[in-house]
Amino acid sequence: MSAEAFSANAIQAPRWRNALLRGFASDVMFPLGFIATCLGMLEILSLMLAVPEVLFPAPSRVAIAFFANASTLCYHAGLTILQVVIALAISLAIGVALAAIFTLSRVINDLFAPLFVLLQIIPKIALAPLFVVWFGPGSLSHLGFAACLSFFPILAGARAGFEETSVDAVRLCYALRASSWQTLIHVKLPMALPQLFVGAKVSTTLCIIGVVLGEFVSAQAGIGWYIVQAAALSQTANILAALIVLSLFGLVVYGLVAAGEIMVRRRLFG
Amino acid sequence: MHKRSSKARRVLLPLLNCLFLVLLWQYAVTHRWISPLTLAAPFEAAKVAADSFAVMAPHILATIYATLLTFMLSSLGGIVLGMLLMHWRSFRLAVYPSLVMFQLLPKIALAPLFVVWFGVNILSRLAFAGFIAFFPIVLATLEGLRATDPLLLNLCRSVRASPTQIFWQVRLPYAVPLIMSGLKVGMTLAITGVIVSEFVTAQSGLGYIILFASSNLQIDLMFAALGWISLIGLAFYGAVLLLERIILMRLGAPLRGLSRPGEAAP
């Protein structure tokens, strides 16, 4: 493909506009068209088959529910996302601190690192009710549960990053008599940032899952609570509208983390 | 800088540490440093697990059954769809962004909806857990199939291998490590999905036991159920690791530095 395109470009000058249009068509129009087609088919099907709204509301009904309840939904989703952000900050702190300890002390690393790997494989989601017992039915239990669920990818990312720091840089620090703490803060941590962000992106989705699940199990407010309430009242359109709001907010948080990653990469690595 | 610790050290130290922590935990609870309403003593929980085994057995089996079925369905569907996406370019262009978006969405929030759709039965659990476990498998399969070394593909074309031959003898074998890592994530997500749907429908299964025990403040029963869930999770994860080793061994791949258990999801 590349050879032909190249020679064609050499002969005929402004082919790029066509290529750009084609790229636009395949990258933007195809996916959007696919989603639009799916929604349209669902709408037509649910109208034609007269599916009861409890079972499957037509997309238009979901849109109506979305706009009718926009302020309530945004309030609950806002509460949830606030908890998500706090939980993410907590798990960042825990994850990086643990990774730093593991890097500084080989004994602690050998003692505890395998246990954390084991903990990671265990389905921790089952702990949700336990956190309610520990912290009571409030946002504290959601925060604890979400942090417990999501700190591991950050720990893994930070450890991978610390270990990948170039040997030469560490040797230079050693030659300059930098303490291992200084080496960690000034050399290893900046070098580990890209890996750390890879972990943080995974953690973001896990934080959202943790908070919402915590709200399923016990809450007085928040989008998880709203969904459970709507499910109890069989308001399927409201469930879907709540999910859309939650997804939008979640994508914003994820986007912010991804933007932070790009910024850090630019500043550190040009 | 860390040197690699010796193998005995890497295996024995964590085991001893684990034993020590369990004993410390037991001691702390029996001497009331920690209230037994917060953490059940490990040996008490083990005793409860042994005593209530007859009651728990059907719930354990229900969870195992649902998890296995979910895993099989979602891995079959995921791998087949991944292959389709690999072959059918316009389909891939249309669907891929939606798949990535679904991968990011908090799909857990849909659990109650699946109950509305499928009712309070195993079908809703299978559908929900499958829905959760499916996406990482598709994406990993697709990524693996597309990541074949171009040099290999060029070589195959120059010896006139047919596209079918290339697919079955080059692309698929080289995609196995990535597909298996997708399956590992899928396995943990399958268990997660099954337990969450047991939370929501609360009818049978270990998730139901946990919720039931927590509302009765029977912390030792809760820890017994948690222990079973952990065992099941570890066993299934180990089974996928074993499957990976067997497949790679049959393909004649080098086994060193293969398994990275840290990449699992929740």
Residue A97 domain-assigned (yes or no): yes
Residue A94 domain-assigned (yes or no): yes
Question: In this complex, is the C-beta atom of B221 within 8 Å of any C-beta atom belonging to chain A?
Answer: no
Q: Indicate the number of domains in chain A.
A: 2
Mean pLDDT, chain B, rounded, equals 84
Same domain, A30 and A137: no
Same domain, A63 and A37: no
| pLDDT at residue A97 in the model | 93
| pLDDT at residue A217 in the model | 81
Q: Write out chain B residues lying below 8 Å of A230, CB-based.
A: 112
CATH of the domain at A75: 1.10.3720.10
- For A268, counting Cβ atoms within 10 Å of its Cβ (0-12 exposed, 13-18 middle, 19+ buried), the class is exposed
Same domain, A26 and A66: no
Residue A54 domain-assigned (yes or no): no
Q: Write out chain A residues lying below 8 Å of B261, CB-based.
A: 117, 120-121
Residue A183 domain-assigned (yes or no): yes
pLDDT digits (tens, 9 = 90+) for B182-201: 999 899 899 989 998 888 88
**DSSP 8-state secondary structure symbol assigned to residue A26:** I
| pLDDT at residue A93 in the model | 94
Whether residue B3 has pLDDT greater than 60: no
Distances (CA, A) of B188 to A122, B97, B136: 8, 24, 11
Give A30-36 contacts, CB < 8 A, sequence gap 24+. Answer: A30/B90, A30/B93, A30/B94, A31/B93, A31/B94, A31/B95, A31/B96, A31/B97, A31/B98, A33/B94, A34/B94, A34/B95, A34/B98, A35/B98
Residue A53 domain-assigned (yes or no): no
Same domain, A16 and A148: no
Nearest chain B residue (CA) to A233: B116
**Looking at per-residue confidence, does A92 or B259 come out higher?**
A92
Residue A145 domain-assigned (yes or no): yes
| pLDDT at residue B92 in the model | 86
**Looking at per-residue confidence, does B47 or B74 come out higher?**
B74
Range of the domain at A187: 59-269
| pLDDT at residue A235 in the model | 84
Point out the residue among B1, B2, B112 whose CB comes nearest to the CB of A239: B112
pLDDT digits (tens, 9 = 90+) for A2-43: 444 444 444 454 566 666 666 666 677 777 888 888 888 888
Q: What is the pTM of this model?
A: 0.81
Residue A71 domain-assigned (yes or no): yes
Same domain, A218 and A107: yes
Mean pLDDT along residues A126-153: 87
Yes or no, beta carbons of A231 and B1 under 8 Å apart: no
Yes or no, beta carbons of B261 and A217 under 8 Å apart: no
Work out the minimum CA distance from A61 to partner chain B, whole angstroms: 16
Whether residue B165 has pLDDT greater than 80: yes
| pLDDT at residue A9 in the model | 45
**Looking at per-residue confidence, does B117 or B60 come out higher?**
B60
Point out the residue among B109, B191, B200 whose CB comes nearest to the CB of A123: B191
Q: Do the beta carbons of residue A153 and residue A145 sit within 8 Å?
A: no
Return the number of CB contacts < 8 Å for A and B: 162
For A69-73, B67-71, B124-128, B254-258, which range has the lowest pLDDT when averaged over its residues? Answer: B254-258
| pLDDT at residue B61 in the model | 92
Same domain, A30 and A123: no
Residue A30 domain-assigned (yes or no): yes
